[in-house]
Amino acid sequence: MYEKHLMICGATGCLSSGSQAVEQALIEEMEKRGIKDQYRLVMGGCPGFCEVGPIIVIYPDEVFYCRLKPGDMAELVEKHLVGGELVERLLYKGPDVDVPSRFYDTIPFYAKQQFNVLRNSGIIDPESIDEYIMRGGYRAFTRALGMDPAAICEEVKKAGLRGRGGAGFSTGLKWEFTRKAPGLKKYVVCNADEGDPGAFMDRSILEGDPHAILEGMLICGRAIGADEGYIYCRAEYPLAIKRLKIAIEQATEYGILGENILSYDFNFKINIKEGAGAFVCGEETALLASIEGKRGMPRSRPPFPAQSGLFGKPTTINNVETLANIPLIVREGGAAEFARVGTEGSKGTKVFALAGKIRNTGLCEVPMGITIREIIYDVGGGIKGGRAFKAVQAGGPSGGCIPAEQLDLPIDYDSLNKAGAIMGSGGLVVMDERTCMVDLARYFLSFTQKESCGKCTPCREGTKRMLEILNRITEGFGIPEDLDTLDSLAYSIKDSSLCGLGQTCPNPVLSTIRYFRNEYEEHINDKYCRAGVCKALFTYRIDRDNCTGCRACVKACPVDAIKGEKKEPHEINQELCTRCGSCIEKCRQDCILITPVGREADVSN
Amino acid sequence: MERFIDHCCKECTHASDTPCKDFVRCCVEGPVCHDDPACSAKRKAIIEKVALNEQFVIC
């Protein structure tokens, strides 16, 4: 028996911030003291709080240590493991707590979260099927084996689960369509082609709890009458793929995958298909084409995949988070319990990836219906550097931005749609006052334009024309007619594109025009970018009345464009200045002003 | 018995080619098909080795 369990975050985010080196240092320290065998070390799944990684949680004490470095391990071993004391300096500290915080109960990031999908992440060893079973794993599947397939679909429908990948279609209904489709051969496909910039919900679920996905697929297979499944996962997720392969091997050894599973007349096998990272392959029909070995391009529907999907057979495609919810719903009493959380039209919880100008970047799982304000300020800790919140981009490049006036908007499928955004897969990119909304729209459109597969003209040509206009506006060559042209092109592309990529990619442009039209007009008419992002449309000037001559900006400037004596107001040489923004970041007196080109006066306020 | 797939005694026959319908429940609550405190203790030992706290096991 072990004295304590040390769960180290072994997900991609923490690995990239050095959790492997921390683990190595911890092992060395324990070996030095000859106590290694008394403790169990697990490189587990993601506890969500990426901002403060690498993280170790020690059980049963339930102590959360964060921002760890290999050099901290000697003290952690000496004080906590040997001495039984808390290492206060390694506990969570932040502007949102008065005293260093111990764990979930006192760290504000976790206060409003509810773990359903992430129930096992950071709790179990993701490479152990035994631990998954201990946590109630494969019980729902065992129950499903004894149920009528139609009854399984009915339970999923009753729970109100809607697809977590984007459109939010009823999962139970989707299953029912495939179940009723004629044919002996059917497929289950798990869409793990997470492609939105800044989104990593699916990766974390796959890395932290791979058996939950297998169980979701098995239940789906039982419900629709399929005997084979595919997981289509980005090749850029090597750890997720490694853990999925281990999980499949274990489930096969345990007789949970294979033939006559658990003595029932049910066979199921799962294959992994690694995708090459094309964004369009997240679209159902493009994904199916890619699995079939064809070029990843969408096709027109009908027929829908439920009638004619993979290799022409009826197919259900669900995303990772959708499938991870299934075992919770199909367990005894699970559907009613699931439906108790959330809103009338959006049941359960949703995992979001918080990114951008937010203090607490990471993953959070919150009940549907929570407001944007609660996510940004209570979970996310507010805006970095204490700046003002400007907007949040929900739903990635297919989504839209929601402005500060709508901070109290509840997060659910219908409210987001009404606001011009979408739930998408759950990426939330937060923006502050220094974000230029025209540039943001340009960025997301440049992403979708590059990722357009080129099959249909509206998307291929339309996105290119829209991007040309946005480039022109951000370079100072916008004309007043541009806004109407953008609007007209956007609706044409939305209405006539073949697939979801084209039908949704104008959303960032439309939503920024809707909520930030003044910024577009300022770029076009005044040739001014007040956020200080579009380099052709502003200059930095020093407010001579307030400059104390501290020289912080002089030291920060990489091109020596700032001159001035100590304690005397400084000056920026406009010929040399590259508008990199280093000076404005360093100035403590806020006396670097963003001004229109060729104008001395500050109009930024 | 190091893992749940290992047989607790000759009474247990679950394997991928000789499957038992009660296998999953048996891992945590078993043995289901026979009554033997020693077999039960073997399962408990696997659980106790990795359970982080009292709420860890979900039946």
pLDDT at res. A605: 39
Q: Does A311 touch chain B (CB under 8 A)?
A: no
Q: What is the DSSP letter of A270?
A: E
Least confident of A92-96, A359-363, A550-554, A577-581: A92-96
* Partner-chain residue, chosen from B16, B23, B58, that has the shortest CB–CB distance to A135: B58
* Partner-chain residue, chosen from B20, B28, B56, that has the shortest CB–CB distance to A262: B20
Q: Could you tell me what percent of chain A has a pLDDT over 90?
A: 90
Q: What is the DSSP letter of A351?
A: E
Q: Does B55 touch chain A (CB under 8 A)?
A: no
* Partner-chain residue, chosen from B4, B17, B19, that has the shortest CB–CB distance to A133: B4
Residue A600 has pLDDT above 80, yes or no: no
Q: Does A37 touch chain B (CB under 8 A)?
A: no
Which of B1, B4, B16, B25 is the best substitution to test chain A (most A C-beta atoms within 10 A)?
A: B16
What is the residue type of A366? Answer: V
Q: Which chain A residue is nearest to residue B16, measuring alpha carbons?
A: A255
Chain B: give the shortest CA distance to residue A82, in Å: 19
Query: Phi and psi for A309 in degrees, rounded to 5?
Result: -115, -120
Chain A: give the shortest CA distance to residue B26, in Å: 10
Place of tokens 């408990």: B44
Please name the residues in contact with A299: beta carbons below 8 A apart, sequence gap of 6 or more: A285, A289, A498
Instruction: Look at residue A284 and give its three-state secondary structure.
Output: helix
Query: What Å distances lie between residue A507 and A129, A363, A397, A526, CA to CA?
Result: 42, 24, 8, 25
Q: How far apart are CA A171 and CA B26, in angstroms?
A: 31
Q: Which of A537, A424, A523 is nearest to A482 (CA)?
A: A523
Instruction: Look at residue A336 and give its three-state secondary structure.
Output: helix
Token readout for A372 is 């944007």
- pLDDT tens track for A366-424: 999 999 999 999 999 999 988 899 999 998 898 999 999 999 999 999 999 998 888 88
Q: Which of A473, A494, A471 is nearest to A483 (CA)?
A: A473
Domains and CATH numbers, chain A: 4-107 (3.40.30.10), 129-339 (3.40.50.11540), 349-432 (3.10.20.600), 437-526 (1.20.1440.230), 538-595 (3.30.70.20)
Q: Cα A545 from chain centroid?
A: 44
Chain B: give the shortest CA distance to residue A336, in Å: 18
Query: Mutual orientation of helices A437-451 and A457-474 as an angle, nearest 10°?
Result: 150
CA pseudo-torsion sign A157, A161, A165, A168: positive
> Quick check: A161 and A170 in contact, CB under 8 A?
yes
Tell me the mean pLDDT in the region A314-330: 98
Place of tokens 């000759």: B10
Instruction: Look at residue A126 and give its three-state secondary structure.
Output: coil
Three-state helix/strand/coil letters over A476-520: CCCCCCHHHHHHHHHHHHHHHCCCHHHHHCCHHHHHHHHHHHHHH
- pLDDT tens track for B5-35: 999 999 999 999 999 999 999 999 999 999 9
Q: Is A105 exposed, middle or buried (0-12, 13-18, 19+ CB in 10 A)?
A: exposed
Cβ distance A252 to B16 less than 8 Å, yes or no, reads yes
Q: How far apart are CA B49 and CA A388, in angstroms?
A: 49
Please name the residues in contact with A359: beta carbons below 8 A apart, sequence gap of 6 or more: A51, A94, A95, A380, A381, A382, A383, A384
Q: How far apart are CA A290 and CA A281, in angstroms?
A: 7
- pLDDT tens track for A48-70: 999 999 999 999 999 999 999 99
Give the side-chain half-sphere CA count within 13 A for A402.
28
Q: Does A125 touch chain B (CB under 8 A)?
A: yes
- pLDDT tens track for A188-234: 999 999 988 889 999 999 999 999 999 999 999 999 999 999 999 99
Radius of gyration for chain B, computed over Cα atoms and rounded to the nearest angstrom: 11
Q: Which of A511, A574, A575 is nearest to A542 (CA)?
A: A574
Q: Which residues of A touch B53 (CB under 8 A)?
A: 59-60, 62
Chain B: give the shortest CA distance to residue A315, in Å: 27
Please name the residues in contact with A579: beta carbons below 8 A apart, sequence gap of 6 or more: A532, A535, A538, A539, A540
Q: How far apart are CA A237 and CA A207, in angstroms?
A: 9
Q: Over the range A73-90, which residues count as b (16 or more CB within 10 Å of their CB) and which as e? A: beebbebbbeeeebbeeb
Establish whether the linkage from the previous residue to A305 is cis, with ω within 30° of 0.
no
Residue A124 has pLDDT above 50, yes or no: yes
Query: What Å distances lie between residue A122 and A14, A17, A242, CA to CA?
Result: 12, 17, 17
* Partner-chain residue, chosen from B5, B21, B56, that has the shortest CB–CB distance to A254: B5
> Quick check: A206 and A190 in contact, CB under 8 A?
no
Where in chain B are the domains?
1-59
* Partner-chain residue, chosen from B17, B19, B27, that has the shortest CB–CB distance to A133: B27
Cβ distance B15 to A255 less than 8 Å, yes or no, reads yes
Chain B: give the shortest CA distance to residue A365, in Å: 20
pLDDT at res. A167: 81
Q: Could you tell me what percent of chain A has a pLDDT over 70?
A: 99
Q: How far apart are CA A434 and CA A455, in angstroms?
A: 37
Residue A601 has pLDDT above 80, yes or no: no
Cβ distance B53 to A60 less than 8 Å, yes or no, reads yes
A 10 A CB-CB count for A465 gives 15
* Partner-chain residue, chosen from A40, A258, A263, that has the shortest CB–CB distance to B20: A263
Cβ distance B21 to A263 less than 8 Å, yes or no, reads yes
- pLDDT tens track for A364-376: 999 999 999 999 9
Chain B: give the shortest CA distance to residue A119, in Å: 11
Q: What is the DSSP letter of A91?
A: B
Q: Which chain B residue is nearest to residue A122, measuring alpha carbons?
A: B52
Query: Phi and psi for B42 in degrees, rounded to 5?
Result: -65, -40
Radius of gyration for chain A, computed over Cα atoms and rounded to the nearest angstrom: 26
Residue A602 has pLDDT above 80, yes or no: no
Q: Cα A599 from chain centroid?
A: 41
Q: Which residues of B touch A125 (CB under 8 A)?
A: 50
Q: What is the DSSP letter of A304?
A: P
Q: Does A269 touch chain B (CB under 8 A)?
A: no
pLDDT at res. B59: 85
Place of tokens 């679209």: A283
Q: How far apart are CA A252 and CA A271, in angstroms?
A: 12
Q: Which residues of B touch A264 (CB under 8 A)?
A: 21
Q: What is the ipTM of this complex?
A: 0.98
Token readout for A602 is 């500050």
- pLDDT tens track for A227-270: 999 999 999 999 999 999 999 999 999 999 999 999 999 999 99
Q: How far apart are CA A431 and CA A392, in angstroms?
A: 6
Q: Which residues of A touch B56 (CB under 8 A)?
A: 123, 134-135
